[in-house]
Amino acid sequence: MEHHIVLRVVAKLLIPIILLFALYVQFHGDYGPGGGFQAGVIFGAGFILYALIFGLQTTKQVISPSFVHGMSGAGVLLYAGVGVISLFRGGNYLDYSVLLSDPVHGQHLGIMLIELGVGITVAFVMVSLFYAFAGYRQIELRKQGSTKQNDVAQASDADPNGKRQ
Amino acid sequence: MVAIVDFALLAGLAVWALGIVHLRSLFGAAMMFGIYSLHCALIFVVLDAVDVAFTEAAVGAGISTVLILSTLAITGAKLEVRHSRAMMPLLITGVIGAALIYASLDMPLVGDPSAPANLHVVPRYLQGSAAEINIPNVVTSVLASYRGYDTLGEVTVIFTAGIGVLCLLGRHSRKRSRRRRE
């Protein structure tokens, strides 16, 4: 992708807008269409677009794989943690009404937090899926060393690992 | 007018599906799957399911296309063109398709307020949402609050699926292949 100047310029313009739009979908989900899942997918797509244009290695410097893996768990923990907090405050699991003194405001806070959890998990699972798929080929190529790419065509059945000996 | 739009959208869906079947280039087929998903998103908009349309456009047309293309890059797959005619699969598909169409005649119409699915807990949610949760988007209040357990389950499924892909393709693949070699 070194020479695709149009793609690079357009991507640079679009990526901030995509990420901003994801945040809008995330926090406006109570009032319009959208919510954590959609926002997470859009947010992840922004990073995937970056990786497609500027390369996997550059993206891994922006957000490291271990950060991505950690955050995909953190979203689930945030969601489940809201449930545990509502248990401690004397309600049922995931009953947001007890989170604040006013039940309706508690519901608002609870929904915002769990949607944030959904968004974080979905966004970073999407990025880690992309890392896994895109990085797999690089590991394979490194393993082959000097052997040429036509090996890949041979190993096109389900198990590329077992074949190459 | 609405019927014409509906018909055109559904016919377009069939055209894309036939195109995918007939394409011999896997790259082209992957791109066409993206178009197919975008088309599905249009149909969801017509059905007033904007939240679903959102998801379909982002996941179906965006990320899954990228993942299918990455899979093509990993496997380097070439399509093996076979010219034999398989009558049995065609027969099975035809029979099952006819049965599904026959069954769909018994289904309630889309959006029918007296459909069983709309009489169970839906009235309770629609009436209670304004007083109990007080956010304009009832979809969000059902998903996040009334059905919070289900959504927690869904997020866990997404997380687990991510872990599964990492186990298969992730950083441990090198170690595993070495073990198999011994």
Give CA–CA dist A141/B36, Å, rounded: 33
Which pLDDT score, from 0 to 100, does residue B16 have? 92
Shortest CA distance to A96 belongs to which of A81, A108, A79? Answer: A108
CA distances B136 to A24, A31, A140, B131, Å, are 16, 5, 50, 11
Residues in chain B with CB shorter than 8 Å from the CB of A75 are 155, 159
Tell me the pLDDT band of B51, cut-offs 50, 70 and 90.
confident
Query: Cβ B155–A160 below 8 Å, yes or no?
Result: no
Tell me the pLDDT band of B74, cut-offs 50, 70 and 90.
confident
Tokens 């049922």 locate to A92
Tokens 């989900």 locate to A29
- Average pLDDT for residues B67-90, to the nearest whole number? 80
Query: Cβ B74–A30 below 8 Å, yes or no?
Result: no
Give CA–CA dist B22/B146, Å, rounded: 45
- Average pLDDT for residues A13-24, to the nearest whole number? 94
Q: Which of B151, B169, B181 sits opposite A133 (nearest CB)?
A: B169
In A37-56, the residues whose Cβ lies within 8 Å of chain B are: 37-38, 41-42, 44-45, 48, 52
Tokens 């490291």 locate to A64
Residues in chain A with CB shorter than 8 Å from the CB of B150 are none
Which pLDDT score, from 0 to 100, does residue B126 have? 85
ipTM metric: 0.80
Cβ pair A35, A79 in contact under 8 A:
no
Give CA–CA dist B86/B95, Å, rounded: 15
- Taking only the tens place, the pLDDT of each residue in B100-129 is 999 999 888 877 888 887 888 888 888 888
Cβ pair B60, B41 in contact under 8 A:
yes
- Helix (DSSP H) and strand (DSSP E) numbers for chain B: 9, 0
Residues in chain B with CB shorter than 8 Å from the CB of A35 are 51, 139-140, 143-144
**Residue B53, pLDDT above cutoff 50:** yes
